Structure 1
Amino acid sequence: MSNIRITKQFSFETGHALYGYDGKCKNVHGHSYKLDVTVIGEPISDTSHVKYGMVIDFSDLKKIVKEEIVEVFDHATVFNKNTPHVELAKELEDRGHNVLLVNYQPTSEMMVIDFAEKIKQRLPNNIKLHSLKLQETATSFAEWYASDNE
């Protein structure tokens, strides 16, 4: 049987600020992110299996990514908790805002690394994460490939 790649696309709105950055992104702002999640595996060959012919049911992949990424990051503002932005985060939380504190600078590059780790932990053993593409704007994105990280 052949290995097949399956991709599911997601979108979410997230705000962030890059502490210590020397450009406009030091200010709190947001993006309409698009996330492509590609997994690889062999289609199920057991003809009696309810998911016969599938690598993974798209709805199963959707559940994983929604729970680990979309529901967490959508309409949240992300700050690096190891910077003075933690004070701004506290102020926003006190005013009822959804704030997410992470252990990294919330760039697309670092977010995609975080997403890869979270998704890999939830995939069935016979399915591997192949790649992620996190698009921040119409012309800017970060990509993570398993083959680059072995």
Structure 2
Amino acid sequence: MPWKLSTEFTFDSAHTIEGYDGPCGRLHGHTYRVRLELTAERLRPSAHIRRSIMVADFRSLKWAKKDVSEGGLDHMYLNDHPELGQDTTAEVIAAYIWRETMRRVRATLEEGDDGDDLRLRVLLWETPESCCEYWE
């Protein structure tokens, strides 16, 4: 892959892991840190510039850092999220961020571009020492 776009951001959310026998079964919160790495074999236009000069727009990658009222995950009780429900482990959240980011990136592609060369890797830190990595 000739290009790799990387960005990092944080968001704050609360959750419980239903049925967990221990402290994670109680309401608690994290400052999640996310690193997204998107690779592509060619450059594309974005919603903000029509010339083919980007892998993707950084703004389209940082959607999750927005407040919950704006469609992001910041300051959300994650168990209320319809796609996460009661399974709010780092693994499930990382996979959701992957799916939603790819959906948003693909939504910006021009007609006829299926984005088959795009590869996304999501790293999600729940604590400074604990990270989950997800890719397809």
What is the TM-score with the length of structure 1 in the denominator?
A: 0.67
Q: Distance in 1 between matches of 2:125 and 2:103?
A: 22
Rate the CA distance shift 1:3–1:132 in 2: closer, same or farther, 3 A. same
Q: Distance in 2 between matches of 1:22 and 1:65?
A: 29
Q: Which amino acid aligns with 1:116?
A: W
Matches within 5 A, 1:42-57: 42-44=41-43, 50-52=51-53, 54-57=54-57
Matches within 5 A, 1:50-89: 50-52=51-53, 54-62=54-62, 64-66=63-65, 71-79=71-79
- Identical positions, percent: 25
Q: Distance in 1 between matches of 2:88 and 2:81?
A: 10
Q: Distance in 1 between matches of 2:103 and 2:27?
A: 31
Counterpart residue number, 2:94: 112
Rate the CA distance shift 1:55–1:100 in 2: closer, same or farther, 3 A. closer
Give 1:128 shift. 1.9
Instruction: Give 5+ residue unaligned stretches, structure 1.
Output: 80-98
Counterpart residue number, 1:6: 5
Q: Distance in 2 between matches of 1:71 and 1:10?
A: 16
Alignment length, in residue pairs? 122
| Contact in 2 for aligned 1:11/1:35 (Cα 8 Å) | yes
Secondary structure of 1:73's counterpart equals coil
Counterpart residue number, 2:103: 121
Q: Which has the larger radius of gyration?
A: 1
Instruction: Give 5+ residue unaligned stretches, structure 2.
Output: 107-113
Q: Which runs of 4+ in 1 moved over 4 A?
A: 64-67
Q: Distance in 2 between matches of 1:107 and 1:144?
A: 13
Q: Which amino acid aligns with 2:15?
A: H
Q: Which has the higher helix share?
A: 1
| Contact in 2 for aligned 1:119/1:129 (Cα 8 Å) | no
Q: Distance in 2 between matches of 1:108 and 1:66?
A: 16
Match of 1:142 among 93, 109, 132: 132
Secondary structure of 1:22's counterpart equals coil
Give 1:120 shift. 1.3
Q: Distance in 2 between matches of 1:24 and 1:65?
A: 26
Q: Which amino acid aligns with 2:130?
A: S
Counterpart residue number, 1:133: 123
Secondary structure of 2:72's counterpart equals helix
